[in-house]
Each structure stands twice: as structure tokens, then as C-alpha cells.
């Protein structure tokens, strides 16, 4: 199967929103998704995403990311979500997406790529370790929801 990885367009947003909901269900946290299509469309200047599509143009997965600056290391790319639909896993689509993100980070002179992985997701942890990522158990995530304050 030929897979094309490209920058997401505004026309892709409805499919990406659907995949975000699918990903949240996979993570067993569907209640955490608060983003709407309208919000994403209004914030396209901030939303950066790559999509993987087959020959028919069907989006099979996505990688959303943003650039960040870490006081200890400098410019970085933060991979927010990496998801491939269940029927297309184990076909190197996830590898293609993350490698495209890494290539972008290198092209933008980032010092590192950073992301999270769920502790229960052994397949993802093993995938990331195999590619050389260090899984850091030191930090705990903090999430302050400003819509409730």
C-alpha cells in the first residue's frame, strides 16, 4: 500500500476531528475531548498536523504538533497526538508519521522532539524505545482547565 504523508488542510479538519474522537475512545477517555470543528477551524493558525492517506485519499492517521521552547534545551517540537486507525496499524504508517515529524523538527533546527505516552500502552512504549526515545517516569502531567475557572 502506498501511503502519502502531507500537511493537513482545512478540508481535512472534519476527518481529523473524527479521528481525535476515535483516538480518545482508544485511550478510554472520550469525555476529555472538548474541541469542536468550529473551534479548530477558527484556530487553524495554531493547529499543525500531518496526515497519512492512502491512494484513494482516505486519511488513515495523523500527527498533530506544535513548536515549543524549553528553558533547559531550547527549541523543540512537541508531538501532541499520533494516531493510526485500527485497521491500518502494523503497516509502518505510525513510523512514517513520526519520522516525518522528526524530519520537520530537524529542518526547523529543533534540539528535541517531546511527547507523552500512556503507561498502559506497551505497544507504543516499545515502538518509541525501539526508535531510541527515552521514556521518562520522573515528571507528572499537570493540566489546568481554564474554561472552568
Active site residues: 128
At which residue does the C-alpha cell 523543540 appear?
Answer: 76
Cα angle 110-114-117, degrees, rounded to a multiple of 5: 160
Q: In degrees to the nearest 10, what's the CA dihedral of 41, 7, 129, 70? A: -60
Q: Is residue 72 within 8 Å of 82, Cβ to Cβ?
A: no
Q: Is residue 84 within 8 Å of 40, Cβ to Cβ?
A: no
Q: Is residue 8 within 8 Å of 101, Cβ to Cβ?
A: no
d(CA 50, CA 77): 13
Amino acid at each position: 500500500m502506498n501511503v502519502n504523508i502531507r500537511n493537513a488542510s482545512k478540508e481535512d479538519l472534519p476527518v481529523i476531528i473524527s479521528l481525535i474522537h476515535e483516538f480518545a475512545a482508544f485511550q478510554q477517555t472520550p469525555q476529555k475531548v472538548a474541541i469542536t470543528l468550529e473551534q479548530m477551524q477558527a484556530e487553524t493558525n495554531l493547529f499543525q498536523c500531518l496526515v497519512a492517506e492512502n491512494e484513494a485519499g482516505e486519511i488513515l492517521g495523523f500527527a498533530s504538533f506544535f513548536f515549543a521552547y524549553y528553558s533547559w534545551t531550547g527549541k523543540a517540537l512537541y508531538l501532541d497526538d499520533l494516531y493510526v486507525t485500527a485497521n491500518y496499524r502494523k503497516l509502518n504508517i505510525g513510523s512514517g508519521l513520526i519520522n516525518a515529524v522528526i524530519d520537520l523538527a530537524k529542518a526547523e533546527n529543533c534540539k528535541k522532539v517531546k511527547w507523552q505516552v500512556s503507561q498502559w500502552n506497551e505497544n507504543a512504549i516499545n515502538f518509541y524505545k525501539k526508535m531510541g526515545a527515552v521514556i521518562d517516569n520522573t515528571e507528572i502531567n499537570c493540566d489546568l482547565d481554564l474554561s472552568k475557572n
